[in-house]
Amino acid sequence: MRAALPQNESERLRSLHDYDILDTLPEDSYDDITHLASEICGAPISAVTLVDRDRQWFKSTVGLAVQETSRDVAFCAHAILEADLLIVPDARADERFSDNPLVTGEPGIRFYAGAPLVTPKGALLGTLCVIDRVQRTLSDAQAQALRALSRQVMAQLELRRHIAEQKRYRELLEDANGRLETASVTDDVSGFFNTRFLHQYLDRWLAPGAEDAKTLSLVFFDMDGFKRVVDTHGHLLGAKVLKEVAQTVHGQLDPEDCIVRYGGDEFVVILPEQDSESALGKTERMKRAIRSTPFLRDEGLEVHVTASFGLASYPDEATEKRELLTLADQGLFRSKAKGKDRISRGAPVHATTRAGVT
């Protein structure tokens, strides 16, 4: 006879699935309990069963080789209708089970006792059950022990869920912290890095004890006549130009390079492990890309701008962070003073001058 459905079946199934226990691998904590139940009750078969929508699934078993059976033939589907132990002394004499294939065939169930697994909110998920192939019953002490062990199964399920929830909370917290950390070093206008990131990066790169003479080049640039763009098109479109310029420059960079909005219309590009010659070539490409790109096209406009650049390299031209920043910034001012839309260095180059490249 197929068991009726509990009145709270939908809620019961939601509660079962919330534990995320179905189809998980064996665990010693549950196996220990089924072995104890089998030993205490003198039963050759015991199981932790969970009654799903159409099946009963075994989290742990003693004396059974199967992982699940149909709910239609499950003794435990009847047990979850009871508030306490369901004891069937002789299944052959019980009209609910007399023609059950688990009784008439393997494993030849004759005796069954199932203690329900009850959640703190009262949902019955399944049972801790013991089974025998002969007619019998349980002593009061065995029945009490089976109840106590079923509560231990439920405690394990609660612990497992608590650990999983804590893991999810940690992951959410780490994700939130990661987003906060990213936000703290991200510029709102350009979408790239901000000065906090620049100083953190340089402090790590140039920290005492860092690899000697670890080459790095720094490029400062800003827009030539950017105030005219803002006066003509407004601050919102001006900010959009800055973002598009940053994206254009980013398109000229390698994955390890970083672009930073320094403030206003001024940017810094970090070029790690690139000496002054390779940095100069890359800066030339940035300058040409800005000059040749029409901006605000999706606004129905074609705004053209140029930029002036200052370049400095570590350790050849600067030996620490402040000097590196100062030299690159001086190079930018030198480019502005010499007519804009050019690249300059912040200190005279001793051999062949490379300042004022157009």
- Which amino acid is it at 350? H
Q: What is the mean pLDDT of the chain?
A: 90
User: 225-246 pLDDT, tens per residue?
Assistant: 899 999 999 999 999 999 999 9
Can you say how many angstroms the Cα of residue 355 is from the centroid of all Cα atoms in its chain?
48
Structure tokens at 327: 């030299």
Asked if residue 86 has pLDDT above 90, the reply is yes
Q: In this predicted structure, what is the pLDDT of residue 350? A: 41
25/90 Cα distance (integer angstroms): 33
Q: In this predicted structure, what is the pLDDT of residue 183? A: 72
Q: In this predicted structure, what is the pLDDT of residue 213? A: 56
Domains of the chain are 9-167 (3.30.450.40), 195-345 (3.30.70.270)
User: 323-354 pLDDT, tens per residue?
Assistant: 999 999 999 999 999 999 999 987 644 433 43
Compute how many other C-beta atoms are within 10 angstroms of the C-beta atom of residue 322. 11
Q: In this predicted structure, what is the pLDDT of residue 255? A: 87
Residue 207 DSSP label:
-
Whether the model clears a pTM of 0.85, i.e. scores above it, the answer is: no
User: 142-196 pLDDT, tens per residue?
Assistant: 999 999 999 999 999 999 988 887 787 677 666 666 666 667 778 788 888 888 8
Mean of pLDDT values over 21-32: 95
Distance between terminal CA atoms of the chain? 91
Q: In this predicted structure, what is the pLDDT of residue 170? A: 73
Asked if residue 46 has pLDDT above 80, the reply is yes
Mean of pLDDT values over 274-289: 94
